[in-house]
Amino acid sequence: MERIWLKSYPEGVPAEIDPNAFRSLGEFFAASVAKFRDQTAFISMGKAISYGELDEKSRAFGAYLQNVVRLPRGARVALMLPNLLQYPIAMFGALRAGYVVVNCNPLYSPRELGHQLADSGAEAIVVLENFARTLEKAIGGTAVTTVVVTGVGDQLGGARGLIVNLVVRHIRRAVPAFRLERAERFNRALELGRAQAFTEAPVEPADVAFLQYTGGTTGVPKGAMLTHRNLIANLQQVHAWVAAAISPEGETFLAALPLYHVFALQANCFVPVMIGASNLLIANPRDIPDLVKALRKTPCTVITGVNTLFNALLNNQDFVRLDFSRLHLAIGGGMAVQRAVAERWKSLTGKPLIEAYGLTETSPAAIANPLTIEDFTGAIGLPLPSTDIAIRDDDGRDLKVGETGELCIKGPQVMAGYWNMPDETANVMAADGYLRTGDIARVDDRGYVFVVDRKKDMINVSGFKVFPNEIEDVLITHPGVLEVGAVGVPDSKTGEAVKVVVVRKDKALTGADLIAFSRQNLTGYKTPRHVEFRDALPKTTVGKILRRELRDDEPAKE
């Protein structure tokens, strides 16, 4: 497709970026540390560390892996950590020492963790002790020989760290008993590493930096191979897009999404490091009251998150009373931003909720709205610099502007492929280098991209296409609805029918109320036939609604 979107670029945003600005993420990190050594890098539970301290501690961890463990260059190092200071220390240390980072969800079951460790061939893992019992059950049959265990308070220092660990272990009883042979404590590993010489690894741009697993909600998880060049290119793309809207100093980012997720990895580890910003780490973002307390103590200037996070914040009475005078940028990604949520956000904070789009396979950012917009547009935005897109039909033919088809993306941020899965790679990578996203979209004559829905989530009612996003966008505007998910369920007359699963804000709300509301706002075949109420919706760790789980359950009629 011709790059018609360039005419809609904000002033000063280039059409192209240099994906070779740095040879590796380690080289990028060293350059940032040289500029911002004395500035605060991360804040966790009241403890702040500077870029200089992050440099020193990540060097120590890298030296531990190189010289104490003696891992060969290119070995995979798994991280099973929430948003604590230990994560950036271990992540940057492993990358700088020439290893591949494998991010693991701390909430994995032993089966899920075992699969990922075995599939990646990870030889070392850093795990929070709260989840060490899961690792104990999963480690058999994997290549893991080095285990580093850490406690929540280990990097908080002094009496505070000791007290936090005491509370977590003995008062909250959040650390189940475990036994892991020859496991090393994280702080001891840093101590051992400091006594060793650290060597910056000779990493090539095409070397894999992360095996970032994806696809667990639709099938067997696949390890997307994200190279150093992929992530450097995406970092340059994002920086070119946001440079005019952020200050070269004094920015504080909210890291509420888990850093092991690709969205937060880029938005809260790499972009802030490029500009010397600080990051407020939230260890448990599901605890909204605790998150709000942290925001009250440390007001943030940049908030990134998913729609469900913004919705949850807007429904917290303490959050709505916060001072938003320092906030100047809020970006939603990871799932569709709902108009009702975006409009409420703008009304409360005075700042627009800017939607962006990306995938694990695109490192992740690919498309974003200009940061100059004032209101919700319904579009996911414009392709980022050095990014090409195409809208294609089921036979791979390019469609015209305004026509609806599968969104395909090409650019230096697109992954090298799936780890040890050539057939899966071939399924998503076209011969001309375009990545098939599985999202149904259209492009208008200004170059703005509108995602209609996920190809796999589309509902077919008597031959008519129904997109869950549209149903959800309508029902979320009902004053009695807190959250909603829409799916298709089997129907003997129409093939499929629309089912909605709702979390109520108003406990008096009935299914009949919602169906009547839908009839006023939707055509007949889009109106839900089934309504189910739950206390919560199943979600991924970043808050994306798991439609498959909603679809698999029997519909409850009301």
Q: What is the number of other CB atoms lying within 10 angstroms of the CB of residue 175?
A: 18
Beta-carbon contacts of 244 under 8 Å, excluding residues fewer than 6 positions away, are: 10, 12, 13, 371
Which residue carries 């990358």 as its tokens? 95
- Specify the amino acid at residue 414: V
Residue 554 in this model has a pLDDT that exceeds 90: no
Q: What is the number of other CB atoms lying within 10 angstroms of the CB of residue 68?
A: 15
Fill in the DSSP letter of residue 72.
Answer: P
CA 270 – CA 34 distance, rounded (Å):
15
Q: What is the mean pLDDT of residues 117-134?
A: 98
pLDDT tens readout for residues 300-356: 999 999 998 999 999 999 999 999 999 999 999 988 899 999 999 999 999 999 999
CA 488 – CA 456 distance, rounded (Å):
11
Full DSSP string of 138-186: H-TTS---EEEEE-TTTTT-HHHHHHHHHIIIIIS--S-----TT-EEH
CA 207 – CA 211 distance, rounded (Å):
11
CA 398 – CA 367 distance, rounded (Å):
19
Quickly state the pLDDT bin for 219 (edges 50, 70, 90).
low
Quickly state the pLDDT bin for 448 (edges 50, 70, 90).
very high
Which is nearest to 147 in space by CA: 110, 119, 185? 185
Q: Are 283 and 367 in contact (CB under 8 A)?
A: no
Q: What is the mean pLDDT of residues 206-235?
A: 87
Residue 193's H or E segment, with its range, is: helix 186-194
Beta-carbon contacts of 228 under 8 Å, excluding residues fewer than 6 positions away, are: 22, 23, 24, 25, 203, 204, 205, 206, 207, 209
Quickly state the pLDDT bin for 217 (edges 50, 70, 90).
very low
The confidence score (pLDDT) of residue 119 equals: 97
Q: Which two tokens stand for residue 229?
A: 């060049």
Residue 489 in this model has a pLDDT that exceeds 50: yes
> Strand runs (DSSP E) across 197-247, as ranges?
208-214, 222-227
Full DSSP string of 367-433: EE--TT--S--SS-BEEPTT-EEEEE-TTSPBPPTT--EEEEEESTTS-S-BTT-HHHHHHHB-TTS
CB-based burial label for 333 (10 Å; 0-12, 13-18, 19+): buried
Domains located in the chain, CATH noted = 4-16+228-454 (3.40.50.12780), 46-203 (3.40.50.980), 458-552 (3.30.300.30)
CA 443 – CA 8 distance, rounded (Å):
13
Percent of the chain, pLDDT > 70?
98
CA 303 – CA 277 distance, rounded (Å):
13
Q: What is the number of other CB atoms lying within 10 angstroms of the CB of residue 269?
A: 23
Q: Which two tokens stand for residue 354?
A: 């800017």
pLDDT tens readout for residues 140-155: 999 999 999 999 999 9
| Angle between helix 86-96 and 25-36 (nearest 10) | 120
Q: What are phi and psi of 5, to 5 degrees?
A: -70, -20
Residue 555 in this model has a pLDDT that exceeds 50: no
Sign of CA dihedral 476, 478, 482, 485: negative
Q: Are 64 and 243 in contact (CB under 8 A)?
A: no
CA 3 – CA 371 distance, rounded (Å):
20
Q: What is the mean pLDDT of residues 174-197?
A: 97
- Bridge partners, residue 501, by sequence: 485, 532
CA 205 – CA 518 distance, rounded (Å):
52
Sign of CA dihedral 537, 541, 546, 552: negative
Average pLDDT over the chain reads 94
Quickly state the pLDDT bin for 553 (edges 50, 70, 90).
low
CA 211 – CA 36 distance, rounded (Å):
29
